Structure 1
Amino acid sequence: MARTKKQILISRVVGIVLVLGAFGLLLGATSTKQEKVCKAVVINIDELEKKSFVTKNEVEAILERGRGKVVGKSIGSINLRELENQLEKNDWVQRSELFFDNNQVLNVFVEQRKATARIWDKSGATFYIDSTGKKMPVKMTERSDLPVFTNVSVPLDSVQLTNIIKLSNAIVNDKFWLAQAAQIEVLKNNQYNIYPSIGSHVISFGSLDDMEDKLNRIKTFYNKVAVVKGFDAYSKIDVTYKNQVVAERFGTFQKQDSGTVAKAREPVTVKQELPAKAKPVAKAETKKAPEKMKTDAKKATASNNKKTDDKKDVKKQVAGSKKPEPSKTKKVEQKTSKQPAKPNKRNN
């Protein structure tokens, strides 16, 4: 049966009333929540390497700056976005997020900036920088284990910033270099010197061209030569030349090039610089042993033959010294006359 116009009108009115009622309830609930007060503040800071360059006390101080304590205030009177902006003005804060939960507790989440390197500029000021070049102050309570760059011109230009971040990341990602590279000095034309933690030498690194290869070359030099001669034996290690490591000792000069080392400008192989290994020597002696035995056997045989000939000669001499019998004298003389005398043979 078709509905009448009156029934349709009544159903529409009922729907509108229900919607308005729900909306009123929502407004009432929201109003009630806004009138509730903040019961507590919970602060969460993501730690970098288990270190907090932003403390909870600092966050609380920023939240209370200008308007006093947050706890006890009505939720509606607290501007969360404004508080986030205040927190992000801190040099160590990358991002912040604030919200109230159903228990009227204010939750504060803070993300710290990640430092890439520590800088000492030409004026003597020191600070950290992140990947964007943002400066962060050094705090005595927390120190980050990062490469230290000295003699830096500020403000950092884009090329210098890129180079510092590139070299710093390469050092941080290598445990050996993170421990060994104590200081990196910035020179003109984007050249660099590295001062190591162990040893009294300076590493002339040059530009960042072939950076990974240069770092590997120095490490190889340390493993092959420096461990034998001592890290304090050198005043300078130069890797600015392609495929070479030039090491200067006090009063001498060494050069490593494709496995060769030169001392005092005289070619000496690396193997000669290092102690001889037991296994290769043992193998070499084993191979040469049979040949040596053959040679000794030949020498022994020749010596025995010589002794035998000497005994025969002695017997002949003894036999010749005896007086021959009268009947045999003629025969001996005839045999002797047939052989030419030795002096005549030499004269001829």
Structure 2
Amino acid sequence: MRNKILTYLKFGGLLILITVLFAFASKRNERRKIKEVLIEFIEEQDPYINELTVNKLLIQNQERVTSVGKEILVLNTVEQELDAHEMIEHSDVYLTVNGELRARIKQRTPIARVNAVTPFYVDVTGNTMPLSDSYSAHVPIIHNVSEREVAQIFPLLRKIQEDEFLKKHVVGVYLGADGNYELELRVYRFKLIVGKIENLNNKIKNFKAFYQKALRDKSLESYKKVSLQFSNQVVCTIK
């Protein structure tokens, strides 16, 4: 009986000791200052937002994050502030055991630039985003399209972004007064009339077939206009 009591006392004492040590370590860890802020941009993207801007967003109570104790740093709040930035799609903020504050940033991806009074980008989700102070995206320029018309033109912009052939050749998109869309090509000067945004896959398939044949025939420079408006046809106008 005495041995059992002694065992219980030893176990209880050990438990108390572990609790005290854990509380001490936790308190010490809370008081330890953040040593370094490390920012990582995930995926290979152009720098539409830079590390300096992200660092500024990682400031709490007008002090640098590196001088703020871990106990008053609310990571969820920091993430919300980063995610609210107009150039950031998603962020992940966490602390390491070494006292490092790490922020993983995924930027928004523009696929077109609208040439308006106040120019803006259209991103991969079809939403608008402002121009960047850090980098100018190499994307097609859109003319005669207002912000309220972005949803209408977005299927065409997405098609250009996803199709390697179009992405390589198309540098501009125009909306005509008749509601038809025209593509500007990087090399050739003929007008490429897409027409309305319908049957895009079939229109692009027909144009690719025409392009390859005309390339072999060395006749691409002889056209003034190439129209994809008509069903299963490519109608060309000679200069």
- Which TM-score bucket, shorter chain as reference? 0.7 to 0.9
CA–CA separation in structure 1 for the residues paired with 2:205 and 2:171: 17
Change (3 A) 1:101 1:225: closer
Counterparts of 1:263-274 in structure 2 under 5 Å? none
CA–CA separation in structure 2 for the residues paired with 1:209 and 1:240: 9
1:249 aligns with 238
Matched, 1:118 2:113: yes
2:213 aligns with 224
TM-score normalised by L of structure 1: 0.59
2:93 aligns with 98
1:323 aligns with none
The residue matched to 1:52 in structure 2 has which SS? coil
CA–CA separation in structure 1 for the residues paired with 2:83 and 2:124: 17
AA matched with 2:98: N
- Relative CO higher for 1 or 2, CA cutoff 8 Å, sep ≥ 6? 2
Q: Is the 8 A contact 2:141 2:171 kept in 1?
A: yes
Question: Could you say which structure has the larger radius of gyration?
Answer: 1
The residue matched to 1:244 in structure 2 has which SS? coil
Question: How far is the alpha carbon of 1:58 from its aligned partner?
Answer: 0.7
CA–CA separation in structure 2 for the residues paired with 1:113 and 1:87: 12
1:82 aligns with 77
1:22 aligns with 18
Q: Is the 8 A contact 1:200 1:231 kept in 2?
A: no
Matched, 1:70 2:92: no
The residue matched to 1:182 in structure 2 has which SS? strand
What count of residue pairs does the alignment treat as equivalent?
239
CA–CA separation in structure 1 for the residues paired with 2:127 and 2:214: 41
Question: How far is the alpha carbon of 1:47 from its aligned partner?
Answer: 4.6
Q: What is the aligned counterpart of 2:139 among 146, 154, 157?
A: 146
CA–CA separation in structure 2 for the residues paired with 1:188 and 1:30: 68
Q: What is the aligned counterpart of 1:200 among 185, 189, 213?
A: 189
The residue matched to 2:126 in structure 1 has which SS? coil
The residue matched to 1:64 in structure 2 has which SS? coil
**Mind listing any 5+ residue stretches in structure 2 that lack a counterpart?**
none
CA–CA separation in structure 2 for the residues paired with 1:65 and 1:134: 30
CA–CA separation in structure 1 for the residues paired with 2:195 and 2:215: 21
CA–CA separation in structure 1 for the residues paired with 2:150 and 2:165: 29
AA matched with 1:196: L
Q: What is the aligned counterpart of 1:127 among 120, 124, 131?
A: 120
CA–CA separation in structure 2 for the residues paired with 1:217 and 1:197: 19
Change (3 A) 1:140 1:93: closer
1:41 aligns with 37
Q: What is the aligned counterpart of 1:214 among 203, 221, 239?
A: 203
The residue matched to 2:113 in structure 1 has which SS? strand
Change (3 A) 1:59 1:180: same
AA matched with 1:138: L
The residue matched to 2:173 in structure 1 has which SS? strand
CA–CA separation in structure 1 for the residues paired with 2:228 and 2:208: 11
Comparing 234-243 with 60-69, which one deviates more in the overlay? 60-69
The residue matched to 1:198 in structure 2 has which SS? coil
Change (3 A) 1:35 1:226: closer
AA matched with 1:146: V
Sequence identity (%): 21
